Amino acid sequence: MAIPDLGELLADGIRGRRVFVRADLNVPLRGDAVADDTRIRASLPTLHRLLDAGARVVVASHLGRPKGRRRPELSLRPVAPRLAQLLGTGVSFCPECVGERAAAAVAELGEGELLLLENLRFHAGEEENDADFARALADLADAYVNDAFGTAHRAHASTVGIAACVERKAGGDLLKSELEHLRGIREPVRPLLVILGGAKVSDKLAVLEALAPHADTLAIGGAMAYTFLASGGRRVGASLVEADRFADARRVTLAARATGRRLLLPSDHLAVERVEAGAPTRVVREIPDGWIGVDIGPETARDYAREAGEAKTLFWNGPMGIFETREFAAGTETVATGVAQSPAYSVVGGGDSVAAINQLGLGPQISYLSTGGGASLEYIQGLALPGVEALSR
């Protein structure tokens, strides 16, 4: 699907115009500071181009899940100084995103200046794609740019509703880049290896069903692997299991086999009696009663890393265990290293997977680090993204 390009918008002339940029600045905070600025950095190319063209740039984003309530700990205010530092220019902050106060702040912007609005999701109308809220956002704009690929799969006021209210619109550099790189997973050079982790089969059932017959090899880790193993009669102790998803797990397995694809499950596990730092661990083939799987075992980690080395296209989403706890991170780290060392075209998506790559300093060895977790999963399934479709109308 062809969407208006940012270059076309710039060519039409935007000096002195108000350009509303939906960015994805949903970054982790540690107190009043940004803990990981990956998503802020990803937004910089589009913002630089607009500022250099003399636009009056109005940036909006969400942060966390405030569910329509004003929650001070989810304010975007701490993002403003980090954004200013990375841009190398001043950034104003408005504690509202619509209404008179926001309008006044936008009116004060000069050419080549930038304003960051408060968290969009402090208003219930954002996630509801409320028409009045969308029009209130559009009142702040002469042109609209969507550069938030991470929310492009959501039909929200700032991703869909506003686009219907603003005539001049375009996809930002990050949005276009994400679509281009993820197209390489949808239309891969084979063999294609997909590594999926995470907690629950229910969270990724649709992508599992879509990728089981598409990927040449689908390797599963994380807690959702225990549902697959238990559905086949394997002992998983007290590990997280969704018994109501056994039929789904069997269906995914059969779909892979029916098309000659390979579905890999962990052959060994790191298990504990208590999920806490410092707890004694055991590497086991089957998890004993009362014990809990917290990571794939070393044999599985080596197997998955070896698979990565043999692939020509590779997509990884989701950690292999509770990698936030140092003692349970070895499986994720081994897989991350295997992905980084692979000669394959590699895309890593999802906040936890990207965090693991960055923590190990492996980012430069990955072909593309996607800022979209759910959005990237939906796109490689072949699903339409509402935020992208809205730009072409």
Residues acting as catalytic residues? 39, 200, 351, 374
CB under 8 Å to 371, separation ≥6 — which residues? 24, 38, 39, 42, 149, 150, 174, 178, 354
- State the residue for tokens 């506003």: 162
The answer for residues whose C-beta is within 8 angstroms of residue 95's C-beta and 6 or more apart is: 75, 77, 101, 118
Dig out the tokens for 382 from the structure.
């072949």
Q: Are 103 and 47 in contact (CB under 8 A)?
A: no
d(CA 75, CA 95): 8
CA separation, residue 180 to residues 44, 49, 194 (Å): 18, 20, 18
Mapped onto helix, strand or coil, the DSSP state of residue 164 is: helix
DSSP annotation of 129? T
SS3 3: coil
* Secondary element (H or E) of residue 314: strand 313-317
Residue 375 to residue 379: CA distance in whole angstroms: 6
